[in-house]
Amino acid sequence: MKLVILGSGSYSGTPKPLCNCENCSRARTNPLLRRTRFSLYFERTLIDPSPDLHYHLGRLNRRVERVFITHAHFDHIAGFPELQVFRELDVYSHSQGVETAKRLALLFLGGASPDGRTWRYHGIPFNEWVELGGMVFFHFRTVHQPIENAGGFVFDVKGRKIAVTGDTGPEILKDGDAIRAMEGADLLIAEMTHREAIPKAHLGVKEAIELAKRVGADYTVFAHISHSNYTHEVLEKKVREAGVVGEVARDFTWVEV
């Protein structure tokens, strides 16, 4: 099975308008260093419809049947109306994610299930395994203030286990339920937003690497990287030196699971 990180960046993307930091300056002249907002795709399943979804879908050119939303921050949900190109859609998130997606569809497409579409919304509980159509998944809660409900997912699909942290504060390192759910994953997608962790908001480089070690996935991809983080090359070096088997995502990094 193949999975693709559609967007490897965080809230403001790289380059961030008007920012002249090293990452933003380099990204303006080298498109390979640009980071669009976080999203990933596997098996007709989209995780997080980012504000860059139009570009992501245009380049990906594959069908989406299921959408999972980690949380209702702009960078993870604002592209939701772009899914109008698909007639049938199942949307999964906790109730806050589902309600926000419905509001966006109502505002921009005229209805939660727009005309001529069959869109179904599924509010899912935190910390329970849910089974549906050949896929089993677990939605764990993360600490990511100021948003009330945020989380990550573990998917069991075709005998492969894929874990996605979503946006999370370093408190996740003390969350036994979340770590147990992710443990032994074939693939972990971990956020690595900042150089230094921000309590109750985002992981730093050290915490993301620590999380990868605790989860012990066969392969780890670090993503959701802020323009103000280290350069891609420095991050790759830090991951390599820590002995983690994996890589730092760029936009459209493909991984075989």
Q: Does 75 bind Zn ion (CB under 5 A)?
A: yes
24 touches Zn ion (CB under 5 A) = yes
If one asks whether residue 227 binds Zn ion (CB under 5 A), the answer comes out as yes
Residues 145-204 that bind Zn ion (CB under 5 A): 167
Closest CA to 37 of 1, 70, 66, 84: 70
* Ordered DSSP codes for the chain: -EEEEEE-B-TT-BSPTT--SHHHHHHHH-GGG-BPBPEEEETTEEE---TTHHHHHHHH-----EEE-SB--HHHHTTGGGGGG-SEEEEEE-HHHHHHHHHHHHHHHSSSS-TT-EEEEEE--TT-EEEETTEEEEEEEE--TT-S-EEEEEEEETTEEEEE--S--GGGGG-HHHHHHHTT-SEEEEE--BSS-BTTTB-BHHHHHHHHHHHT-SEEEEE-B-TTS--HHHHHHHHHHTT-SEEE--TTEEEE-
CB of 100 to Zn ion, least distance (A): 12
Site string for Zn ion, 112-151 (x = CB under 5 A): ----------------------------------------
Nearer to Zn ion, 60 or 143 (CB): 143
13-21, 26-34, 88-96, 132-140 -> range binding Zn ion (CB under 5 A): 13-21
The least CB distance from residue 86 to Zn ion, in Å, is 23
Closer residue to Zn ion (CB): 19 or 179: 19
The answer to the question of residue 21 lying near Zn ion (CB under 5 A) is yes
CB of 66 to Zn ion, least distance (A): 20
- Of the pair 50, 220, the CB lying nearest Zn ion is at 50
Q: Does 19 bind Zn ion (CB under 5 A)?
A: yes
Per-residue DSSP letters for 178-209? HHHHHTT-SEEEEE--BSS-BTTTB-BHHHHH
Q: Which is nearer to Zn ion, 116 or 146 (CB)?
A: 146
**Contact between 232 and Zn ion (CB under 5 A)?**
no
Q: Could you tell me which stretch among 43-51, 120-128, 213-221, 225-233 binds Zn ion (CB under 5 A)?
A: 225-233
Instruction: Please report whether residue 48 would count as binding Zn ion according to CB under 5 A.
Output: no
Q: Which is closer to Zn ion, CB of 14 or CB of 220?
A: 14
Q: Which residues bind Zn ion (CB under 5 A)?
A: 16, 19, 21, 24, 73, 75, 167, 227
